Amino acid sequence: MQRRQYLRTAALAGAALGIAGCTEGGNGNGGGDGTPEATPTETPTETATPTAEPTDEPTETPMETATPTPEPPDDPDQRVAVGDGLNFDPDAFEISVGDTVLWEWVGAGHNIKYDDGGVPDGTDWTGTEGSRTTTYGEGHVHFHTFETAGEYDYYCVPHASSGMTGSFTVTE
C-alpha cells in the first residue's frame, strides 16, 4: 500500500471511531435514548481579595546609605579631558600628594585602566569602575584624591593601540 493511501485510510478509520463514541450505544456520555446527560462542573468558590488595612503603626523608614556617593569637586587640582579624539588631555601632568584629579568624558566609549606595575604599591586608586570592557560615555566623570607618591601610567583599554595613554606623577 502506498503511503498516501495508507494515511488516508488511517484518517478515515480514526474519524469513524470518533463518531461512534458520540452516537447512541457508543462509549460517549449519551443516556442511551439519544439525550446527552449534563456533565457536572464545579463552580469555584469566590475568595475575597485581601485589602490593606490602615494601622496606627508607622512603616519602617529605609536606612540611609552608610557612605554617601561622593560628589565630584567643583575645583579639582587637575582636570583631564577623556576622549576628545583618542587621547587624554593633558596626557601627562604632575600633582602633589593630597591633590584631586578629575577626568571628564568629552567622548564616548572610553575607560581608564592600568596594568600591574603601572601604579605605585600601596595606592588605593583603581581607575574607572567595572571590568576592562566597561566603558563610559560623554558627561561621565571619574575623580580621585591621590595619597601615594609615585609614577602612574594608565590607558583606555579599547583605544590603547591607538595611543590613548596617559601618565602623571604624584610628588611628596
Q: What is the pLDDT of residues 138-158, one digit of tens each?
A: 999 999 999 999 999 999 999
pTM, full prediction:
0.61
pLDDT at 69: 75
Q: What is the mean pLDDT of the chain?
A: 82
Strands in 100-105's sheet, in edge-to-edge order, are 88-89, 78-82, 100-105, 141-145
* Percent share of the chain, pLDDT over 70: 61
What pLDDT is recorded for position 84? 85
Q: Measured over all CA atoms, what is the biggest interatomic distance in the chain, rounded to whole angstroms? A: 107
Q: Where are the alpha helices (DSSP H) in 56-168?
A: none
Give the Å distances, CA to CA, from 16 to 5, 19, 24, 25, 30: 17, 5, 14, 14, 17
Cα Rg of the chain (Å, integer): 38
Least confident of 44-53, 119-128, 162-171: 44-53
Q: What is the mean pLDDT of the segment spanning 107-121?
A: 97
The cell for 101 is: 584629579
CA-closest candidate to residue 95, choices 117, 56, 123, 67: 123
pLDDT class for 120, splitting at 50, 70, 90?
very high
* Predicted confidence (pLDDT) per residue in 6-60, tens digit: 556 655 555 555 555 555 444 445 445 555 666 666 666 666 666 666 666 665 6
Pair 98, 149: CB distance under 8 Å: no
